[in-house]
Amino acid sequence: MARENPLVSVIIPTYNYGRYLSGAIESCLRQSYGNLEVIVIDDGSTDTTGEIVKSIGDPRVLYRYQENQGVSAARNRGLREAKGDFIVFLDADDRLTGDSIEVRLSVILQDGDIDFVTSTTFSMDDTGRTSFRPDKTLKDTVSTGLTEALLLKRIPHATCAVLMRANHVRKFEFATNLDNGEDLLFFAKVFFERKGCFLSRPTAAAYSHPDSLRHNIANLKRQGTDLVEAIFDDPYFGGRLEHIRRPFAANRRVELFRRFYRSGDFKLAREHYRKALSLEPSRIFKIDYLFKFIRTWF
């Protein structure tokens, strides 16, 4: 059981994101909840990341450098370094709201059976402005079935939105052989058949921009649909997620269609759209995607 006024570890992996990093760290240091440590794992940056972190001068900020091994290895290193009773992962280009930790921690401390709290997020643009479109179908929920909700996109997901008990999350590691979706596999395990809470109010801001790892087309081409097998063939789940493999695979194909369509690789986009329809023919009634598919021929 966590002690009173528990320590929260915020783990920030970064690689050449010095221009964003100070904002992420400051969002941690300005929290309404003060008992925290901020662990920055510099994954071999060649920019001014080290100087930026060291200039902050707050003893709660810890800096660790390693040779470039990828974001999963950096997160795993942070997890090993963390001393907190609770863990939060924050990407270097994302932000926490001012009461982010306090809000999620208060929920988890009220119920000793809850292992994690996740929430919606704001969207953030290049100027730092945030926006949020409330979804009236989303309600605050306490459940042991949030893995299925996560994988089928019934609840939104961002790495920065999850606060977890350290003694539970330390059972797992991020997969270093995945370049995209490694967070889904990790959090699917954290959520799996454990009591958790989803909050419909945002507790963080996620920043999407052209050089974001989430939009690395080369990684997506190389990995393809490997994420499907990585999740559903993982022995940890013991086959108990098999009933949602098909809709998840269709969602993954549609997501790849969308990414490749935006990148201009229409041939590859068409391939993924066709395979999504073969998995779930009813998706042809998603008119927006159907129109995009038709446009790839012209």
Residue 121 belongs to a domain:
yes
Interval 235-241 mean pLDDT:
98
The pLDDT-based confidence of 298 (bands split at 50, 70, 90) is confident
The pLDDT-based confidence of 178 (bands split at 50, 70, 90) is very high
On whether both 41 and 186 belong to a single domain, the answer is yes
Q: How many CA atoms lie within 13 A of 81 on its CB side?
A: 24
Report residue 7 CA to chain centroid gap: 22
On whether both 169 and 24 belong to a single domain, the answer is yes
On whether both 19 and 156 belong to a single domain, the answer is yes
Residues of the chain with pLDDT > 90, as a percent, come to 88
Residue 1 belongs to a domain:
no
On whether both 288 and 149 belong to a single domain, the answer is no
On whether both 197 and 223 belong to a single domain, the answer is no
pLDDT in the model for residue 212:
58
Q: How many domains does the chain have?
A: 2
Q: Which has the closest alpha carbon to 101: 166, 164, 16, 145? A: 164
On whether both 148 and 238 belong to a single domain, the answer is no
pLDDT in the model for residue 1:
43
Residue 118 and residue 156 in contact, taking contact as beta carbons nearer than 8 Å: no
Spatial distance between the Cα atoms of 159 and 26, rounded to a whole number of angstroms:
18
On whether both 121 and 245 belong to a single domain, the answer is no
Residue 138 belongs to a domain:
yes
Spatial distance between the Cα atoms of 96 and 98, rounded to a whole number of angstroms:
6
DSSP code of 154?
A: S
Residue 140 belongs to a domain:
yes
The domain in which residue 191 lies consists of 8-212
Interval 101-128 mean pLDDT:
94
Q: Tell me which amino acid residue 230 is.
A: A
Q: What would the pLDDT profile of 195-226 be if each residue is shown by its tens digit? A: 999 999 999 999 876 555 455 788 889 899 99
Query: Lowest mean pLDDT: which of 78-87, 121-130, 232-241?
Result: 121-130
pLDDT in the model for residue 4:
81
On whether both 160 and 222 belong to a single domain, the answer is no
pLDDT in the model for residue 179:
86
Angle, to 10 degrees, between the axis of helix 266-279 and the axis of helix 287-295?
140
Residue 12 belongs to a domain:
yes
On whether both 141 and 42 belong to a single domain, the answer is yes
- Choose the final residue of a domain: 170, 196, 212: 212
Residue 2 belongs to a domain:
no
Query: At residue 44, what are phi and psi to the nearest 5 degrees?
Result: 80, 30
pLDDT in the model for residue 207:
87
- Choose the final residue of a domain: 142, 177, 212: 212
Q: With 80 as the cut, is the pLDDT of residue 3 above it?
A: no
Residue 3 belongs to a domain:
no
On whether both 207 and 239 belong to a single domain, the answer is no
Interval 285-291 mean pLDDT:
93
pLDDT in the model for residue 105:
98
Q: What would the pLDDT profile of 9-26 be if each residue is shown by its tens digit? A: 999 999 999 999 999 999
On whether both 130 and 236 belong to a single domain, the answer is no
On whether both 237 and 290 belong to a single domain, the answer is yes
Q: Coil, strand, or helix at residue 97? A: coil
Say how many C-beta atoms besides its own lie within 10 A of residue 270's C-beta. 18
Q: Coil, strand, or helix at residue 69? A: coil
Q: With 80 as the cut, is the pLDDT of residue 156 above it?
A: yes
Mean residue pLDDT of the chain comes to: 94
Q: With 60 as the cut, is the pLDDT of residue 230 above it?
A: yes
Query: Lowest mean pLDDT: which of 59-68, 91-100, 214-223, 236-245?
Result: 214-223
Spatial distance between the Cα atoms of 46 and 82, rounded to a whole number of angstroms:
24
Spatial distance between the Cα atoms of 75 and 41, rounded to a whole number of angstroms:
7
- Choose the final residue of a domain: 191, 212, 233: 212
